[in-house]
């Protein structure tokens, strides 16, 4: 049975839990991080020297970093579904997963932490406003990619949809103005029809 360490409202834990749910895998999740603490123990540090969540254990394998966890689960349990078999096609999923980290996350982090986890009196509004605009422009790249696609890789959900789906849920729940993104919004509507997405990702953003 899989064991996942991490709190349910962590976006990085949600990526793993959504993947687990899509694959229908038996698992246990243990609350650590945030209000639960437990990251600075020797026991947790032995699993992940960064002392961050999530951590995934599957038998003798212990994996940390959320995208590594998603890739491991997809490769181990989702061949031909979440894990595309053709390396060239799989590289499309890979690159959009990495794009989320390198290109979307810097702007999303400023907006999310500034508006959700920072008291109003302490917010750097010029930085938040700029990041909001930059983020809206950044999503246009994904908008163009989805013009003739149902999901990131084509007509079915793969691991490539997972990080971006989690990120877009947070984006849609920020108190900001957003540009028109019809292709992404249609993709997001399809994600919301999936029970695993609703249960593991669509929870209050705090």
**Closest CA relative to residue 69, chosen from 3, 132, 122, 147:** 3
Q: What CATH architecture is 2-77? A: 3-Layer(aba) Sandwich (3.40)
Residues 122-162: pLDDT tens digits? 999 999 999 999 999 999 999 999 999 999 999 999 999 99
Residues comprising the chain, all counted: 206
- Among 75, 71, 60, 76, smallest CA distance to 3 is for 60
- Name the residue ranges covered by the structural domains of the chain: 2-77, 87-195
pLDDT value at residue 206: 75
* Separate counts of helices (H) and strands (E) for the chain: 9, 4
pLDDT at 156: 96
**Torsion-angle region of 203 (φ positive above 0: left; ψ -120 to 50: alpha; else: beta):** beta
The CA distance from 112 to 205, in Å, is: 9
pTM value? 0.96
Cis peptide before 143 (omega within 30 of 0): no
Among 66, 57, 51, which residue's Cα sits nearest to residue 18? 66
Q: Structure tokens of 55?
A: 């951590």
Q: Each residue of 59-115: pLDDT tens digit?
A: 999 999 999 999 999 999 999 999 999 999 999 999 999 999 999 999 999 999 999
Q: Work out the burial of residue 14: count CB atoms within 10 Å of its CB; fewer than 13 is exposed, 13-18 middle, 19 or more buried.
A: buried
Regarding the domain delimited by 87-195, which CATH topology (the fold level of the hierarchy) does it fall under? Glutathione S-transferase Yfyf (Class Pi); Chain A, domain 2 (1.20.1050)
pLDDT in tens, 18-41: 999 999 999 999 999 999 999 999
Contact call for residues 56 and 62 (beta carbons, < 8 A): yes
Check residue 151 and report its DSSP letter.
Answer: B
Q: Which residues contact 23 (CB under 8 A, 6 or more apart)?
A: 73, 74, 77, 78, 81, 82
């Amino acid at each position: 049975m899989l064991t996942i360490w991490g709190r349910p409202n962590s976006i990085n834990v949600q990526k793993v839990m959504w993947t687990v749910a899509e694959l229908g895998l038996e698992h246990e999740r243990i609350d650590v991080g945030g209000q639960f603490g437990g990251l600075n123990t020797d026991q947790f540090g032995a699993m992940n020297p960064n002392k961050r969540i999530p951590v995934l254990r599957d038998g003798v394998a212990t994996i940390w970093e959320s995208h590594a966890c998603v890739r491991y689960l997809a490769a181990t349990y989702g061949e031909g579904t979440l894990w595309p078999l053709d390396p060239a096609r799989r590289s499309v999923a890979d690159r959009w997963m990495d794009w989320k980290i390198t290109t979307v996350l810097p702007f999303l982090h400023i907006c999310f932490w500034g508006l959700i986890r920072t008291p109003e009196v302490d917010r750097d509004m010029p930085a938040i406003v700029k990041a909001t605009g930059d983020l809206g422009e950044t999503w246009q790249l994904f908008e163009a990619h989805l013009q003739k696609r149902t999901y990131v890789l084509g007509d079915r959900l793969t691991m490539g949809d997972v990080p971006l789906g989690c990120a877009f849920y947070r984006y849609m729940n920020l108190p900001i103005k957003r540009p028109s993104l019809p292709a992404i919004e249609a993709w997001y509507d399809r994600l919301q029809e999936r029970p695993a997405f609703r249960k593991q990702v669509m929870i209050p953003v705090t």
